[in-house]
Amino acid sequence: MNQATSPFKIAAIQMVSTPQVEENFSTARKLVAEAAQQGAQLVLLPEYWPIMGWQDSDKVTIAESLGAGPIQRFMAGLAKEHNIHLIGGTLPLISQESGKVLNATLVYGPGGEQLSHYDKIHLFSFNKGEESYDEARTISYGKDVTTFNAPCGKVGLSVCYDLRFPELYRAMGDCSLIVMPAAFTYTTGKAHWEILLRARAIENQCYVLAAAQGGKHPNGRRTWGHSMLIDPWGEIKMVLPEGEGVVSGEIDADYMRQVRENLPALRHRKL
């Protein structure tokens, strides 16, 4: 594993994003600054942080080309200003499919340079009573499993519904940290969010950092929240149930190595 001397401080930002991009910029700016003041060296924004529109198609209207646009400039500037690794939750990038976007995670280094890019692979759909979602109507499927190297080691990128597909995380290989920006619905989050996050940490014997949308949005949607940091033994180190705020903690490489030595499950894999 490529790891720096521990501990390495990380943070997740929880938001209740609105249909107004500039309003969300203001919230993200404030919370990322708060995380940096707490000593965070890597900060994760939630899924859909720049916009939770009145309707799903609103994100198509603000989609950017990769490498250009106000949302990307904003994230690069934040990373550089605070000298951090910033994992930008998701933003809409222009897709080759008409009327759709890629739900993309972009990673920026402390100098504001783009380090990595992941397009969400698994697209959420859910129907129960009056609750109905189908992301594939406005989002194109991503294709590539993506990781990048940070001072804490290899970081695996995933988004929201990806959490239900453990084979994705096995394909990432040996990670020190898995990140999960999300906008889980209240219904599915209450039932499955914590148990799935803890399972991914336990089975991969690594840290999991989850940054969620958490509250009642102007468009009427309610998201589950409960941003959290989980250690390689599956213990929740910090959690924020609802509302805006910061969840922070440390990656302890020595502790992760000890967990893997005590229970060498990763070495015992046969498939």
- Cβ proximity of 267 and 40 under 8 Å: no
Is 97 among the residues known to form the active site? no
Reduced to 3 states (helix: H, G, I; strand: E, B; else coil), residue 248 is strand
Under 8 Å CB-to-CB from 169, ≥6 apart: which residues?
156, 158, 175, 178, 200, 203, 204
**Of 9, 59, 120, 154, which residue is the catalytic one?**
120
Cis peptide before 19 (omega within 30 of 0): no
Cα distance from N-terminal residue to C-terminal residue, the chain: 21
Q: What does the DSSP assignment read for 50-76?
A: T---SSTTHHHHT-B-TT-SHHHHHHH
CA 53 to chain centre: 19
Rg for the chain (alpha carbons), in Å?
A: 17
**Of 160, 175, 206, 250, which residue is the catalytic one?**
160
- Cβ proximity of 230 and 201 under 8 Å: yes
Is 130 among the residues known to form the active site? no
C-alpha distances in Å from residue 96, one per residue of 15, 99, 101, 141, 185: 29, 9, 8, 11, 28
DSSP 141: P
- Cβ proximity of 163 and 197 under 8 Å: yes
Measured CA to CA, the distance from residue 15 to residue 217 in angstroms comes to 10
Is 120 among the residues known to form the active site? yes
The residues that are catalytic are 47, 120, 160
